[in-house]
Amino acid sequence: MRLIITTLLALISQFLLTGCDNAAKVTDLEPATPQVAGAYVAEYGSWASPVTPEDVYDLADDISDVRATTQGIYFVQSNANNEGKKGVYRFDIDGGVTKVVSSNFNIRSRVHEYGGAPYAAIGNSLFATKFSDQILYRIAPNQAPFALTPNGTRHAGCISNPKASRLICVREDHRGKGEPVHSLVGINLSYADEGETLASGADFYSMPVLSPDQSQLAWIAWNHPNMPWDQTELWLADLDAKGVIQNPRKIETQQKGSITQPLFSPTGQLYFIADFNNWWNIYRLDPQLIPEIVLEKQADFADADWQVGKYNYAFENEHRMVASYNHDGLAQLIRIDTHSGVTEPIAVDFAEINYVTQNGNDVLFVGAKETPEKGIYKIQGRAAQLIYAPNLSVMDPNFISRPQSLSYRTGNDETAHGYLYPPKNPNYTGPTNKEPPLVLMMHPGPTAKASRAFRRDIQYWTSRGFAVFDVNYRGSTGFGRDYRNSLYGNWGKSDVEDAVRAAGFLVNRGDVDGRQLAIRGNRAGGFTALSAVANYSTFGAGVSYSGISDMEEFKRHSHKFESHYLLRLLGSVENYRERSAMANLKGVNEPLLLIQGVNDSLIPAEQSLIIYEAVKRKGVPVTYLAFSDDAANRVSPESKKQALEAELSFYGQIFGFTPAGSLPALAIENIEHLRRR
């Protein structure tokens, strides 16, 4: 009877709540008078929420790749209503915003497979990579896009070389047999041709940058088996008036490490970021080309370069720069006097700061907060002014769960990190002497990071009565080189252990119900989730979104950028099988939800199907949910919404609560064999 009453109250409350939609508004309806201490008493997980799947996946317009020219500020913005395809906008000098390239063009590079920096802007013209064919096009006003580069090549990180009337770009050439060939090339602005090779011989290139007088070119290069966050090289060359490279030389450093983000100061001094002292700090070259540190700080002024072209610092003038860094998961912004080393904090309320760039004497960046605000900001003194934001719905702050940064002991007496989001809904409270269920989230790294920036998918769960813990397991970026490298040889072991220890830590603190623990992840995060369920009995439910379950099979689908990465992560060829969930199916005794794109070329659907059939034969509750509309390893927003509702229904059936509202029926094989904890 109590369950029936609780369910009716949840349904009534849902009718009285107005959800976020595409219009920028907040509900003005008041909920019915709560019954107990200001809120209804209802089972955790059953709370009616204004955060819908549409809010999660239809309101995901992201901003990236900010570029400033004399004609305005260009930036890339994804279009959630067009399957996340990307177009280019310009923030004009008069304050207006112009759509320069439609999202139907879909600007996106696949250099290093993960792309980044897909366009360059010169005046009113763009030079942009189209995702469908990876050709670089010149896009000028009142002209049809004109192809500049050959089929079979990819380009990113392009910069303007005005003296030579060309672009300088990172090229990835797929026209030959075997691995693609990487180089730096000069590309004519007016006609299509092969371009001129400027630098070649290394396995990878990134981040070309010109000195203010265009007399010098710097860039980053590296070779197998390194990733760009392992060990890279900084190169410097002279350029003649025609843009011909002369005297190329590798900058010798006493310490080896990951060098990234080269940038010339207004006076022509070369700066860069390196993790020589365990942290990605800012350095510069003295007149003898010897590196000297600008500011020593136990913080990372860079992220792992999965993509080309992201900068964390820019110059306001010849002696002053603005830089962002990450310390213990917190984003900070500071101004640095490059002569004295004196710093001052700027705008300290951001959770994520990216694409720091110079615009004359101003510095711009893309910022996101713990609340829904995000957009392009301009530094003004010690504050930041929002100059552009995507048109997103407002969310009632009373429903927003704010993250708590937590650290906990894990294997080998080391420390791992994460963010706890408690349940938050002003209309409900949970039953007395009961804790909420936990959704433990694994980021799709492994060399990535969870951040405190606002995410509607997290609020989807917390507003329904779940606690969410977003894990920065060992290997995550933002905690120094040693922490990042600690996953090498231990993937599928340390990350899994960190997930299990996180759950136990939260149970012991009294934050969550130890009988209602779920772990979920996508791709590499799905690998960790599947491995945790296969090797431990901690979690009562596991959810894998195209999770890697067979490392040997995954290796066969890897590309040049990651071709040596798996061995470094796993430590030995033997571990490819030993740490795969596919080889440990006998240990899977807890309910599984497997969500898979049928056409996924990186994670073949057969892997999830094999697990599904094996677990079903064991009599363990399991569901396989497949979507056939995926393309380029991306699932449509419509399918993502269905998957999210299926996940909620799955938790309800496994943990024994009835979610509010009307959800599509989710059939779970062997549900009759479910063992309550």
Task: State what percent of residues in the chain have pLDDT above 90.
Answer: 82
The string of pLDDT tens digits covering residues 66-100 is: 999 988 899 999 988 888 899 999 988 777 899 99
User: Is the pTM here over 0.85, yes or no?
Assistant: yes
Cα–Cα distance, 312 to 302 (Å, whole number) = 6
In this structure, which amino acid lies at residue 464? R
Please report which residue ranges of 136-271 form alpha helices under DSSP H. none
Please tell me what DSSP assigns to residue 473: -
Q: pLDDT at position 17, please?
A: 31
Q: pLDDT at position 38, please?
A: 61
User: What are the b/e assignments for 24-59, b being 16+ CB within 10 Å?
Assistant: eeeeeeebeebeeeebbbbbbbbbbbbbbbbbbbbb
The encoded tokens of residue 223 equal 């070779």
pLDDT at 635 over 70: yes
Q: Are 187 and 158 within 8 A, CB to CB?
A: yes
Mean pLDDT, residues 613-642: 86
In this structure, which amino acid lies at residue 472? N
Task: Between 633 and 469, name the one with better pLDDT.
Answer: 469
Cα–Cα distance, 306 to 44 (Å, whole number) = 38
Q: pLDDT at position 29, please?
A: 29
Which own/partner contact pairs does 343-347 have at CB distance under 8 Å and 24+ positions apart? 343/295, 344/382, 345/382, 346/322, 346/379, 346/382, 346/383, 346/384, 347/377, 347/379, 347/382, 347/383, 347/384
87 closest CA partner among 97, 96, 358: 97
Q: pLDDT at position 330, please?
A: 83
pLDDT at 21 over 70: no
Cα–Cα distance, 92 to 72 (Å, whole number) = 5
Kindly report whether the peptide bond that precedes residue 446 is cis, defined as omega within 30 degrees of 0: yes
Q: Which pLDDT band holds residue 7 (cuts at 50, 70, 90)?
A: very low
In this structure, which amino acid lies at residue 93? I
The string of pLDDT tens digits covering residues 519-533 is: 999 999 999 999 999
Cα–Cα distance, 652 to 638 (Å, whole number) = 22
The string of pLDDT tens digits covering residues 184-209 is: 999 999 999 999 999 999 999 999 99
Q: pLDDT at position 557, please?
A: 82
39-48, 184-193, 219-228, 548-557: least confident range:
548-557
Q: Which pLDDT band holds residue 610 (cuts at 50, 70, 90)?
A: very high
pLDDT at 15 over 50: no
Q: How many Å from the N-terminal Cα to the C-terminal Cα in the chain?
A: 22
pLDDT at 3 over 60: no
56-65, 168-177, 413-422, 462-471: least confident range:
56-65
Q: Which pLDDT band holds residue 484 (cuts at 50, 70, 90)?
A: very high
Q: pLDDT at position 394, please?
A: 81
The encoded tokens of residue 53 equal 């799947």
The encoded tokens of residue 185 equal 């090339």
Cα–Cα distance, 462 to 424 (Å, whole number) = 6
Q: pLDDT at position 644, please?
A: 96
The encoded tokens of residue 563 equal 């071709």
The string of pLDDT tens digits covering residues 363-374 is: 999 999 999 999
Q: pLDDT at position 620, please?
A: 97
481 closest CA partner among 280, 245, 201: 280
Cα–Cα distance, 350 to 353 (Å, whole number) = 7
Q: What is the DSSP string of 319-349?
A: TEEEEEEEETTEEEEEEEETTT--EEEE---
Helices 494-509 and 524-535, packing angle to 10 deg: 70
Mean pLDDT, residues 209-222: 97
Please tell me what DSSP assigns to residue 210: E
The encoded tokens of residue 521 equal 């992840």
The encoded tokens of residue 377 equal 């900001």
Instruction: Report CA-CA distances (Å) from 616 to 529, 603, 605, 620.
Output: 18, 21, 16, 6
37-51, 262-276, 450-464: least confident range:
37-51
188-192, 202-206, 420-424, 433-437: least confident range:
188-192
**Considering the chain, what is the average pLDDT of its residues?**
91
Distance of CA 120 to the CA centre of its chain: 22
Q: In what order do the strands lie in the sheet with 320-327?
A: 313-317, 320-327, 330-337, 343-346
Q: Are 180 and 193 within 8 A, CB to CB?
A: no
Cα–Cα distance, 276 to 328 (Å, whole number) = 19
The string of pLDDT tens digits covering residues 296-314 is: 999 999 999 999 999 999 9
Kindly report whether the peptide bond that precedes residue 291 is cis, defined as omega within 30 degrees of 0: no
Phi-psi group of 539: left, alpha or beta (phi > 0 → left; psi -120 to 50 → alpha; rest → beta): beta
Q: pLDDT at position 28, please?
A: 29
pLDDT at 281 over 70: yes
Cα–Cα distance, 302 to 304 (Å, whole number) = 7
Q: pLDDT at position 268, please?
A: 97
Spell out the residues 6+ positions from residue 569 whose beta carbon is closer than 8 angstroms to its own: 446, 487, 488, 489, 491
Cα–Cα distance, 226 to 388 (Å, whole number) = 38
Mean pLDDT, residues 47-71: 90
Cα–Cα distance, 534 to 493 (Å, whole number) = 12
Task: State what percent of residues in the chain have pLDDT above 70.
Answer: 94
Cα–Cα distance, 100 to 227 (Å, whole number) = 35
pLDDT at 23 over 50: no
Q: pLDDT at position 632, please?
A: 58
Q: Are 446 and 487 within 8 A, CB to CB?
A: yes
Mean pLDDT, residues 454-461: 96
pLDDT at 378 over 80: yes
Distance of CA 189 to the CA centre of its chain: 33
Count, in order, helices (H) and strands (E) of the chain: 11, 38
The encoded tokens of residue 372 equal 């829904």
Cα–Cα distance, 432 to 423 (Å, whole number) = 15
Q: Write down how long the chain is.
A: 677
Longest pairwise C-alpha distance within the chain: 85
Q: pLDDT at position 589, please?
A: 95
